[in-house]
A and B are shown apart, each in its own frame.
Chain A
Amino acid sequence: MSIFSAISTSGTGLSTFRTWIDVIANNMANLNTVKPTSEPAFQAQYVQAQDIAGRADGIGAGVGITALPASSAEGRLSYQPNNPLADAKGYVRLPDIDMAEQMGNLIMAQRAFQANAAVVDRARDTYLDAINIGKNR
C-alpha cells in the first residue's frame, strides 16, 4: 500500500473495464465472421476478473483480469449455398454471439469505466485537500 492508493485502485478498475470494452469491440467486429463447417466458429471472448488482495489493513487493492474465456467453437450453422466457404450441403459456420447481450455488457463496461474515472477525480480532489492542509494560514 503506497501513496495515493485510491487512485491506483481505481486505475485497476479503469484498465479492467477498458479491456472489457476492447473484448466486446472484438466480439462485435466478428459478429458476421464466416468460417467453413470444417473449422471452429469465431469464439466470442468474455472477461473473467478477480479482486486483488494485498493491503495490510484488509482493504482490497482493486481488480485484475485473470482469464479471457471463450464461448463455444460450435457456433451456429447457416445455409448459405452461394458463400464460397460453404460446404457440400451449402452450410457455413457463424459465431454464436448474442448482440443484445454484448450491447448490454458494453453499457455495463462503459458505466463502470465512468464510475472508476469519477472515483479518480474525487480521490484527486481529496488528496489535494489533504495536501493543502495548513497552506491557507
Chain B
Amino acid sequence: MLNDVASVTLSTALSALAARQRVSANNIANLETPNFRAGQVSFEDNLRRAVEAGEPAQAAVTLTTSTAPAGINGNNVSLDTETLIDQKTALQYRLLSGAMSSKFGLIDTVLKG
C-alpha cells in the first residue's frame, strides 16, 4: 500500500530533508570551530531524474563540502545562510509531511466511508 510514485518520492524527500537538517545543525554547532568547512546536502536534481526514470526510491542524497571562502580561522560556516537553509528545510518538511498525511487521509476516507 502507498507505493505509488508520489508517496515514494515524498518519503525519499522527507529522509533527505531530515539529513539536511542534521547537517545544518552540525554546521551551526561548528560556527567557531577552526578550519571547519560547512557541509551541504543536495538531492533535488537526483530526485527529479529518479522520478522521471520512475524509480524515486533510487535517488541519491549527496553530502558535499561548501567551497565558500573561509574566514580568518579557516571556517566557512555562514550563520545567515545556515539559518535560512534551516527555515526552508523546516517549511518543506512541514509541507511534505502534510502531503503524506493528506494521502493517508484519502485512504482513510475511502475505508471509513
List the interface of chain A (C-beta within 8 A of B). 2-4, 7-8, 10-11, 14-15, 18, 120, 124, 127-128, 131, 134-135
Q: Considering the complex, give the chain A residue whose CB is closest to the CB of B102.
A: A134
Supposing A4-B92, A131-B95 touch, asked if A124 and B81 sit within 8 A by C-beta, the answer is no
Docked complex Cα distance between A3 and B91 (Å): 10
The answer to whether the Cβ of B34 comes within 8 Å of any Cβ in the partner chain is no
- A15 in contact with B88 (CB, 8 Å): no
Chain A residues near B78 (CB-CB < 8 A): 15, 18
* 8 A Cβ contacts from B82-113 to A: 84, 87-88, 91-92, 94-95, 98, 102
For residue A18, which residues in chain B have a CB less than 8 angstroms away from its CB?
78, 80
Q: Considering only CB atoms and an 8 Å cut-off, how many residues of chain B contact the other chain?
A: 13
Instruction: List chain B positions with a Cβ less than 8 A from chain A.
Output: 44, 78, 80-81, 84, 87-88, 91-92, 94-95, 98, 102
Contact, CB under 8 Å: A14 / B80? yes
Q: Are B92 and A3 in contact (CB under 8 A)?
A: yes
Give 19 CB contacts A-B under 8 Å. Answer: A3-B88, A4-B88, A4-B91, A7-B84, A7-B88, A10-B84, A11-B81, A11-B84, A15-B78, A15-B80, A18-B80, A120-B84, A120-B87, A124-B91, A128-B91, A128-B94, A131-B91, A131-B94, A134-B102
CA of A120 to CA of B92, assembled, Å: 15
B91 CB, min distance to chain A CBs, angstroms: 5
**Closest A-B pairs by Cβ, 9 of them:** A14-B80, A11-B84, A4-B88, A131-B95, A127-B91, A7-B88, A131-B94, A18-B80, A124-B87
Candidate in A2, A4, A128, A135 with the most chain B CB atoms within 10 angstroms: A4
With a cutoff of 8 Å between Cβ atoms, the chain B residues found around residue A120 in the complex are 84, 87
Residues on B with C-beta less than 8 A from A135 are 98
Q: Which residue of B lies closest to A11 (CB)?
A: B84
B residues within 8 A CB of A11? 80-81, 84
Closest to B101 in A: A135
Question: How far, in whole Å, are A14 and B84 apart by their CA atoms in the complex?
Answer: 10
Q: Which of A8, A128, A131, A134 contacts B88 (CB 8 A)?
A: A8
Q: Which residues does chain A contribute within 8 Å of B98, judged by CB atoms?
A: 131, 135
A80 to chain B, nearest CB (A): 29
